[in-house]
Amino acid sequence: MICILLVAGHGTVLETQIKNDVTGLYGHLAGVPKALLPGIGGRKVLDFWWETVNTRQLFSEVYLVTNADKYKHYERWATANGFPVENVVNDGTTTLEGRLGAVADLELAIRSRRLQDDIMVIAGDMLCADQNFDIAQVIRFFRSKPGELVIYYELEEGEKSSSRGIVEVCPDTHRVTCFLEKPQQGRTTSRLASVVFYCLRRETLPYLSRFLSLQPCVQNRTLGLFWEWLINEEKVPVFGMKLPTGFQLIGQVGLDDYTKWLARYSAKQQGSAGKPISYRSYARVGLMGNPSDGFHGKTIAMTVSNFWAEVTLTESQSLVLLPHPLNDPTEFGSLQDLYCISCKEGYLGGLRLLQATCKKFYQFCSEQGIALSKQNFTLKYDTNIPRQVGLAGSSAIVSATLKCLMKFFNITDRDLPKPIRANFILNVETDELFITAGLQDRVVQVYEGLVYMDFSKELMGKRGYGEYIPMDMRDLPTFWLAYLGDPSDSGRIHSNVRQRWLNGDADVVQAMKSFAKLTDQARSALERKDWPRLAELMDENFELRRSVYTEECLGPGNLKMVQLARQFGSSVKLPGSGGAVVGLCLDSERLMAMKDAFQEAGCVFCVIVPFSPTTTSSQCRN
């Protein structure tokens, strides 16, 4: 592949304003081409692009196209920076009025140097906010697609779409369906801006001369209009890749633009360097419908602030995953100590969850055409969610890790919407780690709060996710939670129900439909604030579960907790896969007495503190 850096523009506005600046701050920059002005970190703007593409493993040659007016500047820059001077192409123009146009400059370089290879084209005078992105990812994505490639970014607040080439991109195929060069307001809702950063296949290069033959006026020989013609009229397959960063100093800009964006991007880079990023995700309790989420049912679940998993990401030289001192032990007091801990807690701590999330995140971004920065980091986690009691402790760690990665790499909700994020978390556990799980936990931990979920077969088959509706959390009654002090593996509770469901077992199929009906009734009770009816439905949920899973599968520990709660007149059910119970006791005196009874029985008991998404403690804590 060959790279061509375009710096042939005549930046008359910026040069004139620098020359006429009365402050004296920019006098030393008079006559300096835009690409050779100081960029982020003091490096020249062009220095960054040359360092980015100066890799023989990726490019066989790199060319620089400039004009006659600035040729000497770039010749000296090339000599000082190890750029082959013979690869500096002079287009012979000296004024803005006499310019060739970007498309003609590109075609000149290809024709004069007889280039017959795939081409990457970059404007060498663009200011890029991300000084660490991996250009190898761009090439890999280009080669994976049967067409050309345009790079785009999401416009920042305040940037007008009328100043950029705007692309509309199919989220499934990543094909650019429409390219609009500086569209008028209201013509498109897209905020995805294309920049002069493209990949062209060898067989597509003849389109450049065809376009030039159609455009005798130099004003129309822009790369934006070329892509608009190639995509909208010629229907050539062009794909889009997102860089989660910003680009500025494009085209004719003034001194105010230069100083503003240089200051903003420099401050952003300095402000983010070394600052830890921390996020929490919370345990959840299934209030109704579970475990039908894995069987096209409906559920209602709620996040609770009593228990959480927190992940912290810090930028570092190498990528490091730190083991948790308790959950990922590497030192033991003795062989007997190792034996006892292994028997009780097994061999699977949280470290594998961090690793699997990172692996899946990179895979997702690669497949979605999102180029990530070449930045390393250190990840560590902490959690107080009790293990093996069905409170979604594993998915909480995955969810918090994903939040940190999205923040660190500037991945937005548009790139990874909440419904898809829940699927992502589930896939980390099921595809990578073979953990038996359903979508309920991941959905409620992504949306947070009290959430109604419909996983109907029709919805899941049509769009890959269900209907997720956040519910009003004001004036909720007091729920309680109890769990076994020494739980068994909660995953065993699923028994053979899934296989029976897959086989079309009438009892199981009907049970899952009944769970869904109970959930709709519970939603109505919550909206009416009919707490006695909600308590009745919670009991019905448990009895239905007992009938389909059998007492043998539920286990004596779970049954004992249910029986104990009912002695105090409380409703009770399993909030997850087993090892814990959740209930609703409307009598405060009985609630306190029940707490004492659970504690005497060796269980841990607490009053639930619901977690609302409006609470700030789940937000970024950097």
Compute the distance between CA of residue 545 and CA of residue 291 in angstroms, rounded to an integer.
Answer: 8
Q: Which parts of 101-226 are beta strand (E)?
A: 119-123, 127-128, 148-154, 165-169, 176-181, 192-200
Q: What does the DSSP 8-state code read for residue 7?
A: -
Please provide the size of the chain in residues: 622
Kindly tell me the burial class for residue 324, based on how many C-beta atoms sit within 10 Å of its own C-beta (0-12, 13-18, 19 or more): middle
Catalytic residue among 441, 486, 505, 596: 441
Which residues are within 8 A (CB) of 239 and not within 5 positions of it... i.e. 6 or more apart? 141, 142, 145, 147, 148, 149, 150, 173, 174, 175, 176, 369
Compute the distance between CA of residue 399 and CA of residue 428 in angstroms, rounded to an integer.
Answer: 10
Alpha-carbon Rg for the chain, nearest whole angstrom, is: 30
Compute the distance between CA of residue 132 and CA of residue 130 in angstroms, rounded to an integer.
Answer: 6
Compute the distance between CA of residue 72 and CA of residue 383 in angstroms, rounded to an integer.
Answer: 61
CA angle 104, 106, 107 (to 5 degrees): 60
Q: Is 441 a catalytic residue?
A: yes
Helix axes 102-112, 206-214, angle to 10 degrees: 140
Compute the distance between CA of residue 281 and CA of residue 195 in angstroms, rounded to an integer.
Answer: 37
What's the first-to-final CA gap in the chain, in angstroms? 41
| Coil, helix or strand at residue 386 | coil
Compute the distance between CA of residue 469 and CA of residue 226 in angstroms, rounded to an integer.
Answer: 44
Helix (H) or strand (E) holding 522: helix 506-528
Alpha carbon distances (Å) from 592 to 539, 588, 600, 605: 20, 6, 13, 10
Residues with a known catalytic role: 441
